[in-house]
Amino acid sequence: MGTNYYLYRKTTFDPDRPIPAALGCTHGHEGEPQELDNGWVWDDTYYPDLDSLNAVFYQKIHIGKSSAGWRFLLCIYPAENPLFAENPRRREYYLNDPIQGLDDWVALFRMPGNIIKNEYGETITPERMWSLIANKTGRVEADEDGWTKPELGHTERYRVINGLCVHDESRIPHGSPQCIQIMPDDCTYDLILSGNDTESGVIFC
């Protein structure tokens, strides 16, 4: 169990550019705004013009996941998603710039108009979000070799650094090593190549 966090990036809808299917989101909307002769419709909500639609138009970007006892799993978005190199629709992230690490995220956290929320709809301040990623603490006990101690009924064990479990190969989606980047020992987060989900990543707020 854990909590997912999302950035709602203030943006505008470009009717000449399709909304891509992959942005690493788990609760996006499907489809695209539909143009009418006298306005726009999205999810049965009518907007008289493009300006009114854009007033509530956001892009939803999965920041990552915080799980008790684990390093924060921080999503990264390179220029293109190599997991879907052969699929033009899912290869594009539809981002202004790549997100390659925490510094890129912090710049987005602080950008006027952007909003951070967790999966329960609670608003998170940029300072709090940064702290959840960069100042995470843990109390996981490790054995002499730096791995979690065996628990009754559990066969999986994980590497522990500074009281936090590291996202080793057993946590990699689809067993694909290029998805995860393990950060240095003094870090409180690991990086994951995002874009494995199929939602549009564009929402209203």
Domain range summary for the chain, segments of one domain joined by +? 3-204
Is residue 66 within 8 A of residue 132, CB to CB? The reply is yes
Angle CA(69)–CA(128)–CA(168) in degrees, nearest 5? 30
In this prediction the pTM is 0.84
Is residue 102 within 8 A of residue 92, CB to CB? The reply is no
Chain-centre distance for alpha carbon 47: 29
Q: What is the pLDDT of residue 52?
A: 92
The whole-angstrom separation of Cα 36 and Cα 41 is 7
From the CB of residue 103, how many other CB atoms can be counted at a distance below 10 Å? 8
Token pair 């510094």 is found at: 103
Q: What does each C-alpha distance from 26 to 22, 68, 199 come to in angstroms?
A: 10, 20, 7
Per-residue pLDDT of the chain (205 residues; tens, 9 = 90+): 789 999 988 888 887 776 655 555 444 455 578 889 999 987 788 999 999 988 888 888 889 999 988 999 999 988 887 777 787 767 777 788 899 999 999 999 999 999 999 989 899 999 999 999 999 998 888 888 888 887 756 677 888 999 998 887 555 454 455 577 888 888 999 998 876 544 445 565 5
Q: What does each C-alpha distance from 34 to 13, 14, 78 come to in angstroms?
A: 11, 12, 29
